[in-house]
Amino acid sequence: MFKQLSDNKAEMLTIELDAESVTVPAGISVAAAMLYLDAAATRQTPVSGSPRAAFCMMGVCFECLMEIDGSPNRRACQVVVTAGMRVRRQLGARDNGQAS
């Protein structure tokens, strides 16, 4: 569905995705990086566990929520990748950092 336009001059960055080092183009959002890596699923729903991925790519739908640099529930389509960034998929119910 999505296809990156050819840019042979794109600088590449290394980020960490689920504790694995991956290389992605600089200047793209985390959601676009997931699509670039063919790893589109950014989270699982807490009820059924079904995979979810970026839908609107403009911060409206909240389907692309991920943990970015230790902060949960970040909209991946609104965050630009940076070298060394730590990104994790959110699996199941969200963690809002509060004790139960």
Q: Is residue 50 part of a domain?
A: yes
What integer pLDDT is reported at residue 46 of this predicted model?
84
41 φ, ψ (degrees, to nearest 5): -65, 120
Residue 18 lies in a domain: yes
Amino acid identity of residue 26, one-letter, is: A
The three-state secondary structure class of 34 is helix
What is residue 7's three-state secondary structure? coil
DSSP code, position 6:
P
User: Per residue in 7-18, pLDDT tens?
Assistant: 667 799 999 999
State pLDDT tens for residues 26-78: 999 999 999 999 988 999 888 888 898 899 999 999 999 999 999 999 999 99
pLDDT at 97: 57
**Overall number of domains in the chain:** 1
Q: What is the CATH number of the domain that holds 68?
A: 3.10.20.440
CA of 89: how far to CAs of 37, 68, 85, in Å? 14, 9, 13
